[in-house]
Chains A and B, each alone.
Chain A
Amino acid sequence: MIIELKDVVKRYGEGPLAVTALDDVQLLVAAGEFVVVLGPSGSGKTTLLNLIGALDTATSGTVRVNGVDLVGASRAALFDFRGASVSFIFQSFNLFPGLTAQENVQFGVDAAGSAADSTDVLERVGLGDKLDRFPHELSGGEQQRVAIARALATDNPVLLCDEPTGELDFGTGVTILELLQGQATGSRAVLVVTHNREISRMADRVVELSSGRIVADGPPSGGKVPVTELHW
């Protein structure tokens, strides 16, 4: 398994003010899976993403990603882990405004030390003709595609997407989801966090969170559908 979470608890604060964001979470994700983590606001889905991405540490339990045990790992080890194992795609893209599209993708190459060609990666996401554009010269969908290209350029095996269509219109969102779904092949797993239930219909597997607990884990209830059948 590329992602293994066992008995994971995450609490913020102490004493009577303590808030349990995740409680007794068990999760296994295999390479090649396209998993959607679904839940309303405050259900703990972003916390789950942060733990898997080593942006945060669990209060207790085991978090193992790409063979690295993240609980108790040193700060330096966590930095190394992020550089070599996971890549993030954010709702608001988080592109570097001073770098062109190609340079933003090159950043992913430089950060991970991968051998990817930034031009090739951008061509794969359909932006081969916009290499030299700055982020503010691109549409929202194009910016998110650059963000995806940046994540892909790292060649890391886990792609973590936090509400990747949150700032996009339906049509663009669908295109992005199709692109992300296409990355879940071979040795790479894709984890998409969203509150949009419709998106979960295209997933291989849906993990549903409520109040910090996994309340459902399995294929979409109505069966997996092609992305073209999504509506919102």
Chain B
Amino acid sequence: MMLLLRWSWRDLRAHWAKVLAIAVVIGIGTGGYAGLTSTAEWRRVSYDVSYRQLAMYDLRVDLATGSTAPESALAAVLADIASQEDVVAAEERLIFPTQVDASFGDETILVRGQVTGADFREGGPQVNAFHAFTGRALTAADAGEPVVMVERSFALFYGLPGTGELAISGDRELAYVGQVTTPEYFAVAPEGEMFMSEATYAAIFTTLETAQEVAGLPSRVNNLVLTITDTADRDAIQQELEAALARAGLGATVATRDDNLSYSALTTDVDQDQAMFNVLAFLLFAGAVGAAFNLIHRLAEQQRREIGIGMAIGVRPRVLAIRPLLVSVQIAVLGVIFGVVIGTLIGNAMAAVFQSIVPLPVWETPFQTGVFAGVAVVGLLVPFGASAIPVWRAVRVAPIAAIKPTHLVAKEAASPKARHATTNTFRAMPLRNLRRAPRRTVLTILGIAAAMTVLVGFLGIMDSVFDAVDVAEVEANGTRPDRIAVTLDGFYPIGSPAVQAIEDAASVAEVEPVLRVVASVDRGGDDIDVIVELADLDGGMWAPSVSAGALTDELGVLLSEKAAADLGVTVGDTVTFHHPRRTGLTSYAFVDSEIVVVALHPNPVRGFLYMDIGSSGLFGLEGLANGLNVLPTPGATTEAVQQELFDVDSAASVQSVTAVMEAVRNAFDQMLGIIQVMVVAILLLALLIAFNTAAINLDARARDHATMFAFGVKVRTALRIAMTESFAVGVIATAMGAAGGAALVWWMTQVLLPETLPDFQLHVVLKPSTAAAVLVMGIVATAAAPLFTYRRMRRMDVPGTLRLME
């Protein structure tokens, strides 16, 4: 046994680079799998703990836009519901939109935002509490003081100092004492905005008293959030609240936490996100395991002759099997160690990306031992299986058959094509080498192809998303990319002083009134939330492009192609339009209208719905506007308009029409972090497979090379033959990987993401730059792998190698 151990140790020293590289391949497969599949558990646990720690509301009451109630009026409604004992805590708040000027240094930051005034008395707020990342959270002592806290994702995006100053509409200067998060903003997804809108949206938090003072609404509130016991019937309480609010004469909506886009996007989509990661993880794992199996198999096969000699001198097969199996033990043990290390590295990298995307108060990202253990078992078994097969094949034949050097010579199928005499053997050799060992060739190709599939999948999904963003941007720009969207802080008569103040601004050349309201459409099934924009679609400043139907000033809606497809309607069909209708000066009710689809537009954002401003009567909003499309004067920038309108009280936000798309682009840019982590791992995997294949080929073909050198063939020629062979493998593997990757992108964009990201229409797109990068990485890296063997080839003991096999 000691002899076998010593022998095995010498084997390890002789093949240490290959053993190490195969172990790293297994490590990438198992560790990558563990790292990728761990994220669901991390997110689930971290969200649960964070939402619990900061007491996310269960129910939220919002008064109708623009209306307020006296302090305590909303809380008093709770006394009028049957389930009042199920309410754990309730907080009244005052929330109002604003513009935020967070400019610092040389950077101008002017974005839309919202001020939330909460009750900090008695250690509050008890619902939707705050976690400070920098500076401090507010306390009761700050009541009425001009101090606020700024939302963490926005601050991170712009790299704001930990504490500082900002201004809000009305030129109110406020000091921010800390960067914080609160459950509604774990992901920034304000109403009417896209998910992860931190680039274009600033949430400001302050005391209720300060908010009331800034808004000029002393002792008024417009929002109530409450938590209920775990056993309470939330839906029942929601209904009781709606009834109680109606009895109290308060026009309000009651929403659950599930209605909060930020909450639902983060929590309910975890499993769907994970489905994508699982597929990628499985492919990565399968590719690594397949490649490791092939490489170990070939390593063990090289011992076949020695097994034959052992059999010839009477050593029992089970003893002979020990030595190759010891190599497997070395690879398996190292593979598990590398798996833990690589899994931890990938896990840490992904955890860091998640932490930067979603700044939770608590992120729990422990190494998922259970997940890893499952794949580690496979990682342990693969080396044994890969060794056992050649050993078994060697011991079941006569010793002389095992000893014959021809054991390394796979028999080529007698293909007539292969027998055509060639004019240049150097050119023929690479393909002949591949053909004579089809099983090895196929396994090598499959290993690299799996890695390339995952790579194309990762890059392709980003291409598809950014292509959709580009299309949306082009759509938003239309013929006037300098168009600026101004949101008013309420509904104003067209021609009113509030609108006139904007029209009169020096940097504004032209304005066009628009109405923007939130609504939904359905056709008997699930409804789709939409942002309705009513503008002059016939000859106005801007109109969406039309892919079907035609723009008309008749009553009708212009739906996105995606919404039409999801609803199963087309031009001329009727949909049920659930929209607000003004019932009083500041009161609104949601009503259903049957309305014709007059046209479709190609914007990939499903929720954009357009109507002609002439249809404003449907909403009871004739002659009113809550937004303006603005064109700047020649030479005036968006920033100049923003700065000038910042002092106009009625302008709640001023942003370029592409700002929303910039926010989307930013959101996906952050996701690139995960992609980059995986791309590095995948490239390393492909390179290791190619390197190991080249190194083992060098061993297996040592005699061929020695014979070539004996005939005066130069090392560079032999290397060129090896590289041509690898090039062919790289071409086939990359082509298969590209095809597999395209299929993967199709599955993700057409099957998986429509579930996870239903509001966005994605097409399968692989940009030429991506295709070129994949080709370069797949083919060049694979073809170049034999270069690593140049040194060994050059130092080959030619006479020794020639006699070695005799």
Contact = CB atoms under 8 A, between A and B. Distances in A.
A103 B802 contact: no
B676 to A, nearest CB: 41
Given A50-B799, A55-B798, A131-B421, A98 B707 contact: no
Nearest to A50: B799
B708 interface: yes
B525 interface: no
A124 interface: no
Given A98-B436, A134-B412, A83 B712 contact: yes
Interface stretch (B425-433, B761-769, B780-788): B425-433
Contacts of A103: 421-422, 425, 428
Interface in B408-430: 409-412, 414, 418-419, 421-426, 428-429
B504 interface: no
B421 A111 contact: no
Nearest to A108: B711
Interface in A104-134: 104, 106-108, 110-112, 118-119, 131-132, 134
Nearest to B412: A134
Contact of B419 (A90, A100, A163): A100
Contacts of B707: 88, 90, 94, 96
Contacts, number: 108
Given A82-B711, A154-B711, A96 B429 contact: yes
A83 B798 CA distance: 15
B712 A82 contact: yes
B668 interface: no
Contact of B421 (A53, A110, A132): A132
Interface string B96-131: 000000000000000000000000000000000000
Nearest to B424: A110
Contacts of B426: 107, 110
A79 B421 contact: no
22 contacts: A79-B714, A80-B712, A90-B802, A92-B405, A94-B703, A94-B802, A96-B432, A98-B432, A98-B433, A99-B432, A100-B419, A100-B421, A103-B425, A103-B428, A106-B422, A106-B425, A107-B426, A111-B711, A118-B421, A131-B421, A132-B419, A135-B409
B704 A96 contact: yes
A43 interface: no
Given A131-B421, A132-B419, 15 more contacts: A46-B799, A55-B802, A88-B802, A90-B802, A94-B802, A94-B805, A96-B425, A97-B436, A100-B421, A103-B425, A107-B425, A107-B711, A135-B409, A137-B414, A163-B806
Interface string B707-751: 111111110000000000000000000000000000000000000
A217 to B, nearest CB: 23
Contact of A136 (B409, B425, B432, B714): B409
Contacts of B406: 97, 136
Given A94-B802, A96-B704, A83 B711 contact: yes
A54 B485 CA distance: 83
A100 B415 CA distance: 12
A105 B806 CA distance: 21
Closest 8 pairs (CB-CB, A-B): A83-B712, A98-B432, A82-B712, A132-B419, A97-B409, A111-B711, A107-B425, A94-B707
B435 interface: yes
A100 B411 CA distance: 12
Nearest to A163: B806
A149 to B, nearest CB: 13
B803 interface: yes
Contacts of B409: 97, 135-136
A110 B422 CA distance: 11
Given A103-B421, A132-B419, A132-B421, A92 B806 contact: yes
A60 interface: no
Contacts of A55: 709-710, 798-799, 802
Contacts of B703: 94
A123 to B, nearest CB: 14
A163 B806 CA distance: 10
A46 B803 contact: yes
Contacts of A111: 708, 711-713
Name, among A82, A137, A154, A166, the residue most crowded by chain B CB atoms within 10 Å (CB to CB).
A82
A87 interface: yes
A79 B709 contact: yes
B711 A88 contact: yes
A141 to B, nearest CB: 16
B405 A56 contact: no
A66 interface: no
A99 B803 contact: no
Contacts of B428: 99, 103
Contact of A99 (B425, B714, B802): B425
B661 to A, nearest CB: 56
Given A83-B711, A83-B713, A107-B711, A98 B803 contact: no
A34 interface: no
